[in-house]
Structure 1
Amino acid sequence: MMQQFYPTVSHSYCFELNKDMHFSAAHYIPADEAGKCAKMHGHTYHLNLTIAGDQLNDTGFLIDFKHLKDLVHKRYDHSVLNDHPEFSDTFPTTELLARQIHTLIQEMLDQTDNQPECLQVIVRETPTSYVIYRPKKVPS
């Protein structure tokens, strides 16, 4: 995979990891304004995840890179995104895919003892187009 340079997220955590991965999937956006994308077509999606935290787990990881890849790749690789239940009430746009991947990753991280945070998810749909999803911070 070609090394990509992505926008960084400002944070005060001690540790930050970034994981690049890719998967192939098809989708369609059944809306008039989607143009050619209204028809079934496929992409090799390239992702970058940014995870940060102050505490490492007992192995010395924020989270094992393999867990991140397995969670996303096993769910979406060689599938039709429209067939996934998380997209049953909406269209699987790249924006919504990025948000959904963030949700999946953060739910997994919330189950760990060291509680890292997924700061951003970048989904590249084509060589020239990508989406960045960063959850809004809720004031305490």
Structure 2
Amino acid sequence: MIFLTRKAEFSSAHFYWVEDWTEEENKRVFGKCANRNGHGHNYTVEVTVKGEIDPVSGFVVDLKQLKDILDREVISIYDHRHLNLEVPEFRSSIPTTENIAIAIWQRLEDKIPNAKLHRVRVYEMPDLFADFYGEQA
């Protein structure tokens, strides 16, 4: 078993807000992140797959195919978007770093041939990231 990680980047805006709370409660819990106009981040996502090395190609997964899947399923959807307003999965959940990692996992799960998704790591900032290993973790 070997693990392979591919990185990609996207830029998105978001805000944190719970509709059932008052404006004061949202501001108390989320601070500046409760600004309904949103604010942006340059995110980095790392997708780690695991599997056996193909004895002919030497790859665990076709690298171009992995990049194309990541571009199609995540980057093209999230890049230069307001996550709360433009990405369907965040119309019903707050686009925190944790929820973004889970959403990316759900977008990629079962789409990578010949390898199993192992981890999705999302960096919101260089010193803040979330890891998701799927429901089995």
**Superposed pair shares fold, TM > 0.5:** yes
- Which residue does 2:30 correspond to in 1? 34
Report the Cα distance in structure 2 between the residues aligned to 1:78 and 1:94, rounded to whole angstroms: 16
What is the correspondence of 1:63-82 to structure 2 with a 5 Å cutoff? Answer: 63-64=62-63, 65-70=66-71, 71-82=73-84
Partner of 2:23: none
Determine whether 1:129 maps to 2:128: yes
Structure with the bigger percentage of helix = 2
Determine what percentage of the aligned residue pairs are the same residue: 31
1:30-71 per-residue CA deviation (whole Å, 9 max, x = no partner) reads: 141111111100000011111011264x96551433224313
Task: Work out which of the two has the higher radius of gyration on C-alpha atoms and give 1 or 2.
Answer: 2
Q: Is the 8 A contact 2:50 2:60 kept in 1?
A: no
Task: Assess if the C-alpha contact under 8 Å between 2:52 and 2:60 holds in 1.
Answer: no
1:94 and 2:97 are equivalent in the alignment: yes
Cα RMSD for the two superposed structures:
2.2
Q: Which amino acid aligns with 1:75?
A: I
Name the counterpart of 1:7. none
Instruction: State the 1:98 CA deviation.
Output: 0.2
Give structure 2 stretches of 5+ with no counterpart: 19-25
AA at the equivalent of 2:68: H
Work out which of the residue numbers 9, 13, 27 in structure 2 matches 1:22: 9
Which stretches of structure 1, 4 residues or more, deviate above 4 A after TM superposition? 58-61
Given the two structures, how large is their TM-score scaled by the length of structure 1?
A: 0.76
